[in-house]
Amino acid sequence: MKRDNLCILVIGQGGREHALAWKLKASPRVSKVYAAPGNPGMEKLAECVPIRVDDIRSLAHFALEKGVDLAVIGPEAPLALGISDELIRLGIPAFGPTKAAASIETSKVWAKCFMTRHNIPTADYSVFGDADSAKCYIRAHGCPVVVKADGLAAGKGVVVAHTPEEAEHAVDTISNLAAGSEIVVEDCLFGREASYLVITDGMSALPLISAKDHKRAGDGDKGPNTGGMGAIVPAPAFDTSLEAQILEDIIMPTIRGLSDEGHRYVGVLYAGLMLTSQGPMALEFNARFGDPETQAILPMMESDLVDALEAAVEGTCSSMKLKWRDGACVCVVAASQGYPEKPQLGREISIDEEQAEKDDVLIFHAGTRRDGEKLVTSGGRVLNVVGVGDSVEDAASRAYRGLSHVNFEGMWFRCDIGRPGA
Ligand code: AMP
Ligand code: GLY
Per-residue pLDDT of 13-67, as tens digits, reads: 999 999 999 999 999 999 999 999 999 999 999 999 999 999 999 999 999 999 9
pLDDT at 152: 80
pTM over 0.85: yes
Per-residue pLDDT for 5 more than 80?
Answer: yes
Residue 68 · residue 32 · CB < 8 Å: no
* Ligand 2 proximity of 293 Cβ (cutoff 6 Å): yes
Q: Which of 110, 177, 183, 284 to mutate to test the pocket of ligand 1 (most atoms within 8 A of CB)?
A: 284
* Ligand 1 proximity of 160 Cβ (cutoff 6 Å): yes
Residue 204 · residue 212 · CB < 8 Å: no
Split at pLDDT 50, 70, 90, the class of 422 is: low
* Ligand 2 proximity of 340 Cβ (cutoff 6 Å): no
Largest Cα span, the chain:
62
Per-residue pLDDT of 249-293, as tens digits, reads: 999 999 999 999 999 999 999 999 999 999 999 999 999 999 999
Q: How far is the CA of 197 from the centre of ligand 2 (A)?
A: 11
The amino acid that residue 114 corresponds to is: F
Per-residue pLDDT of 160-183, as tens digits, reads: 999 999 999 999 998 887 665 899
Residue 188 is classified by DSSP as: P
Q: Work out which ligand 2 atom sits closest to the CA atom of 289.
A: 4
Per-residue pLDDT of 302-337, as tens digits, reads: 999 999 999 999 999 999 999 999 999 999 999 999
Q: How far is the CA of 138 from the centre of ligand 2 (A)?
A: 28
Residue 235 is classified by DSSP as: P
- At 148 the three-state DSSP class reads strand
* Ligand 2 proximity of 310 Cβ (cutoff 6 Å): no
* Ligand 2 proximity of 150 Cβ (cutoff 6 Å): no
Tell me the β-bridge partners of 374. Answer: 371
* Ligand 1 proximity of 146 Cβ (cutoff 6 Å): yes
Query: Can you tell me the mean pLDDT for 355-360?
Result: 95
Residue 347 · residue 393 · CB < 8 Å: no
Angle of the 252-260 helix axis to the 108-117 helix axis, nearest 10 = 100
Q: How far is the CA of 126 from the centre of ligand 2 (A)?
A: 24
Least confident of 95-109, 112-126, 156-170, 381-395: 156-170
d(CA 253, CA 247): 8
Least confident of 26-35, 179-188, 192-201, 410-419: 179-188
Query: Can you tell me the mean pLDDT for 386-406?
Result: 97
Per-residue pLDDT of 56-94, as tens digits, reads: 999 999 999 999 999 999 999 999 999 999 999 999 999
